[in-house]
Amino acid sequence: MTSTEVEVPDSDTSPGGTLDATDHPGLHTDVENSSGAKLFAACLSGDTIRHACGGLTDDLLAAGIELPSVYLLVGDRLRCFAARGYFQVVDGFPRTAGVIGSVVASGVPVWIPDVREREDFIAAVPNLLGEACVPIVMDGQVVGAVNAESVGLLSPTSLPLLQRAAAALATRIAQLGGMPQESLMQRVARAAVELYSLEDPAALESQAIALAMELSEMSSAILARRSATELIVTAGGGPLRDDLAMFTAAELETIAQWVSEGTSSHFSGLGAPPAYDFLDRAGLRSLAVYPLIAGGEHTGLLITADTEPQAHLTNIVEALELVAAQVATGLSALEAFQEMRRRAATDPLTGVGNFRAFVGDLSAALEEASDRLVTCVLLDVDHFKAVNDSRGHLVGDRLLQDVVAVLCRTVGAGDKVYRLGGDELAVIASCGDQQGATRLAQRLLTAVRTTGATASAGFACATGAVPSDLRAQADKALYAAKRAVRDTVRSSDDTLPVDWLEPS
């Protein structure tokens, strides 16, 4: 809190205790009784929550507050239910954003003589100077805020007025049945934003399951995705998850036929015919099926279920049809993006990682390494240019594919092979010690010989090194091997051949 900001925990300790207009001639304080019935008459007579909020801002305007406004939490956003004196209104910001958001988050009123000193201030109109904001509290929970702004001095005596205003509004909201709830379509819209913000298909599927159960008010849900050959349950939730996941591929295909024309399908408590006896096996009394369709293709099913009959409600069906469409589109987009990333990191000739993947994986391996060595092995196929020149590039390409294939079969689980370009290959491996790294490099050269070719290799080992340094050390060792007799291994720690070590 800055020296120009005052926080007031409650109305009992607010400045002055009672309203005092001495420092604010425009502030009216003719309150008829302690409940504020006269001062907040428009608020307390509002027949809806929005009318009560509008009445409160009219009451505050009449009391001399220059720019009053009321914000209530709807879902996870602060919504402006009423404002007076503004030509522009800020609406729908996160519950922790701005001065109003900070008051809602903390539950502590604030009076700010100069908002220009607040980094979190969100200006609705230019040249504002003062601001005061108090939380609206119902049943111990902060549900919104009453705010006042001014282009001139805003007296601290505005705080008790706003606190009494917030109490009056809380009273009227309770009389009207409580806080407004998100509409069904608002929930779907919020869910769409949440779904599209996810970057992992599994996380999107999990969120879709939770949302389907919430909107349908059924106890369980599953998601089935179409593979190359069949529908497979990939996610589920609720007490019936395991029973629903037991649907066979043939039974899932039967269900898919119900929605093959793009419709949804619903069983609402009626007994299933003999052809659908697998529904009775799971003890289901309600089932709803929504197709996942992306790019005109049926990609899966979203299924909700319950052991109690559930009425078929059109508004719920419409909402879940939208969710299914969002899930299908989102999954399709994520998988297309992941495929693009995979291709961008894959050498098209050999199918292993390319230079970009090597750089990223080496950096990640060194960051994760704590008590183990990370080994970087670089290899060049000996006299590869001569193969291309004498036998043609197709033969050279096949040779590279064969060499990479035998390297992949030789490395350990978790180790990776890369083609960096041309005939330069690389391996990132986890080795227990220097001798283990040397044995790996020797095994790699032995494997290359089975293709009818030979290779030279250099390696370096480190724990937590700079990736570019480790690669440079391995590169130096590789060129030492190439300058020697080729078909040999050199270590960055020694320019001598390493065949003195015991054989693998």
Are 86 and 52 in contact by the 8 Å Cβ rule? The answer is no
Q: What is the DSSP letter of 17?
A: S
Quick one: 126 and 201 in the same domain?
Answer: no
Residue 159: give the domain boundaries.
6-175
Amino acid occupying residue 8: V
Q: Kindly report the three-state secondary structure assignment for every residue of 356-410.
A: HHHHHHHHHHHHHCCCCEEEEEEEEECCHHHHHHHHCHHHHHHHHHHHHHHHHHH
* First vs last C-alpha separation in the chain: 68
493 and 362, same structural domain?
yes
Q: At what angle do helices 393-410 and 434-449 cross, to 10 degrees?
A: 140
192 and 317 assigned to the same domain: yes
CATH (domain of 382):
3.30.70.270
* DSSP 8-class letter at 273: P
Sheet-wide strand order for 220-226: 231-237, 220-226, 297-306, 286-294, 265-268
Q: Is residue 34 part of a domain?
A: yes
Q: Where are the beta strands (DSSP E) in 87-140?
A: 93-94, 110-112, 130-138
pLDDT at position 345, please?
92
Question: Can you give the pLDDT at residue 59?
Answer: 95
Q: Is pTM beyond 0.75 here?
A: no
The answer to whether residue 295 sits within a structural domain is yes
* Phi, psi for 425 (deg, rounded to 5): -120, 165
Residue at a domain's end among 132, 152, 175 = 175
Q: What is the pLDDT of residue 20?
A: 37
Helix (H) or strand (E) holding 3: none
349: in domain: no
Q: At what angle do helices 384-391 and 393-410 cross, to 10 degrees?
A: 140
- CA nearest neighbour of 112 among 161, 57, 155, 66: 155
In single-letter form, the type of residue at position 453 comes to: A
User: Same domain, yes or no, for 22 and 141?
Assistant: yes
In a domain, 419, yes or no: yes
Residue 287 CA to residue 259 CA, distance in Å, equals 13
| Domain identity same for 141 and 198 | no
Say if residue 485 is in the same domain as residue 386. yes
Sign (positive or negative) of CA dihedral 367, 369, 371, 373: negative
Q: 437: closest CA among 404, 462, 468, 470?
A: 462
CATH code, 27: 3.30.450.40
Same-domain check for residues 146 and 13: yes
Helix, coil or strand: residue 342: helix
Which residues share a beta bridge with 267? 287
Q: Does 112 share its domain with 152?
A: yes
pLDDT reported for residue 37:
53
Residue 503 lies in a domain: no
Bridge pairing between strands 67-74 and 455-462: unpaired
Mean pLDDT (10-residue bins), the chain, 504 residues: 40 34 41 57 93 95 91 87 85 81 91 74 68 92 92 84 95 90 78 81 92 92 93 94 92 92 83 76 85 92 91 87 91 88 92 94 85 89 92 94 96 93 94 87 95 95 86 94 89 57 36
Domain total for the chain?
3
DSSP state of 39: T
At residue 87, the 3 state secondary structure works out as coil
Beta strand extents in 227-318 (DSSP E only): 231-237, 265-268, 286-294, 297-306
- Same structural domain, 169 and 194: no
Residues 18 and 160 in one domain: yes
Q: How far is Cα of residue 471 from the mean position of the Cα atoms in its chain?
A: 34
- Tell which of 150, 175, 200 closes a domain: 175
3-state secondary structure of 314: helix
Q: Is 291 helix (H, G, I), strand (E, B) or coil?
A: strand
pLDDT at 155: 81
Q: Is residue 502 part of a domain?
A: no
101 and 168 together in one domain: yes
In a domain, 180, yes or no: no
For residue 159, how many C-alpha atoms fall within 13 Å in the half-sphere facing its CB? 25
114/35 Cα distance (integer angstroms): 31
Q: What is the DSSP letter of 152?
A: S
How much is the pLDDT for 115?
72
List of residues 6+ apart from 251 with CB closer than 8 A: 278
Residue 450 has what pLDDT?
95
Residue 436 CB-half CA count within 13 A: 13
Q: Which of 153, 175, 197 is the last residue of a domain?
A: 175
DSSP 177-240: TSSPPPPHHHHHHHHHHHHHH---HHHHHHHHHHHHHHHH--SEEEEEEE-SSSEEEEEEESTT
The C-alpha atoms of residue 451 and residue 397 are separated, in whole angstroms, by 13
The reply to whether 350 falls in a domain is no
Do 393 and 491 belong together in one domain? yes
The pLDDT assigned to 23 comes to 40
Least Cα distance to 32 among 63, 64, 70, 1 occurs for 63
Measured distance CA(417)–CA(407) in Å, rounded? 7
Give the span between the Cα atoms of 417 and 404, in whole angstroms: 7
